Chain A
């Protein structure tokens, strides 16, 4: 069953078109990723789905309901972590959870959440005194305290150290295991690759692909490289093999460029001619390569 159905969503701010016909659907029990660089309309999209912003066009169904018309019913069943929000500096962790639990008809016991999200010893700490990771975990716990069927998490690991990110990822997997559908907004490849069952790739207000992370990577036909060092035997002709587009040799170092599964053909050819090689490396294709192939630019700004 589709838990969220978005069809041809449109949104403009003055003369800036932020969403230009966005469509996707998320299935029950999956972690659905919304991936794309900053400023491509990811937050705008989920905030329309949450009923926080009014789209200019298109239709949205959350659990079969309209988030604007059936406001209350929808909000009773969703949990939200917004990208840019804070709590009052002086509110204590338990007070925030207790308060937010009181907003829902059938909340979870917030004491369990305190344990699950590793905040038990911060129970009486004030929000302003928490570390970035602790704040983030509190936000996620607050998104879950209403016992939602769908949780929206927007950039949940921004600003966390690698250790804290890993921990958070494990906890998100547990959320999925408990049957909650998760909509995960992120501009991190590794996060999406690790967590998401399916991903909608956003670029400039449009969805350019929807697939599993592996499907996205397999679907691209980008050139990639394999490298090795010749040890013994004479170099054989590789240029004619299927998929190979180029071979360069510098001394004993060989770099073969190609598309598809050319690496298998190359290693087979080397073995057939008893060419011994070492340091064999095949560049792993990543979601980022898929993103470049889809949009013509890299998601990772360090590239």
Chain B
């Protein structure tokens, strides 16, 4: 297990996609960050949601579907090790990646940009956990349904844009049609961004939105497990 984790970690660092997941949100933050006001509660939650969305929708499903496509899971099932271990290790590493991406954003925003950071940790951590769980569930479902790595990649990218739009990551929600913004709030990514924003505004995230993310995480994960094929 240790060796598997080390090797998978090395492979992840050699994956250009992993670098992009770290750099794209940071880039967005830098580009827009110079013009934001110190008390801003919009930009940083957006960047965080983008980071988690990229890992969950793009990197996670592509990696997993590629492993199945290349027969790596099958090859593993001929050894004493269960192939499920590989999926668990991948899931954990992707989670760590999402954490690093977010930490990078917070540190950069907090120091260089002097952005506002929430003082209460618990609501933020809970929101991060549920939002990430919901996004990863979607990623797992893509991995389960996509016939190969390229398809998973395609589906991930295709899903990312409408989801990011609905979540208010392409333009601020107050510039979106009201009804679209309302609907968007109940998409996995939208609930995540809105909850983060609530945290940033100093309040507690709405229990309804937290519940929405939890339900997404559970229901979609179950669907992913049901549709998952080892080969």
- Using a CB–CB cutoff of 8 Å, the interface residues on chain A facing chain B are 50-52, 72, 75-76, 78, 80, 82, 84-88, 90-91, 95, 98-100, 102-105, 146
Contact = CB atoms under 8 A, between A and B. Distances in A.
Contact of A90 (B11, B74, B80): B11
A90 B14 contact: yes
A75 B10 CA distance: 27
27 contacts: A51-B78, A52-B77, A52-B78, A75-B78, A75-B79, A78-B78, A82-B71, A82-B74, A82-B75, A85-B71, A85-B72, A85-B74, A86-B70, A86-B71, A86-B72, A87-B70, A87-B72, A88-B67, A88-B70, A88-B72, A90-B15, A91-B11, A99-B3, A99-B7, A100-B79, A103-B79, A103-B80
Contacts of A72: 80
A98 B10 CA distance: 14
B143 to A, nearest CB: 15
Contact of B11 (A75, A82, A88, A105): A88
Nearest to A84: B71
B80 to A, nearest CB: 5
A15 B71 CA distance: 25
B4 interface: yes
Contacts, number: 57
Contacts of A50: 78
Given A95-B10, A99-B3, A99-B7, A76 B71 contact: no
A102 B3 contact: yes
B80 A104 contact: yes
A98 B3 CA distance: 8
B81 interface: yes
Contact of A76 (B4, B10, B11, B80): B80
A215 B15 CA distance: 53
A52 B80 contact: no
Contacts of A90: 11, 14-15
Nearest to A152: B78
A88 B72 CA distance: 8
Nearest to B67: A88
Interface string B145-169: 0000000000000000000000000
A85 B75 contact: yes
Contact of A52 (B14, B15, B74): B74
List 8 A-B pairs, minimum CB-CB distance, nearest first: A85-B71, A80-B78, A86-B70, A90-B14, A102-B3, A103-B79, A103-B81, A85-B75
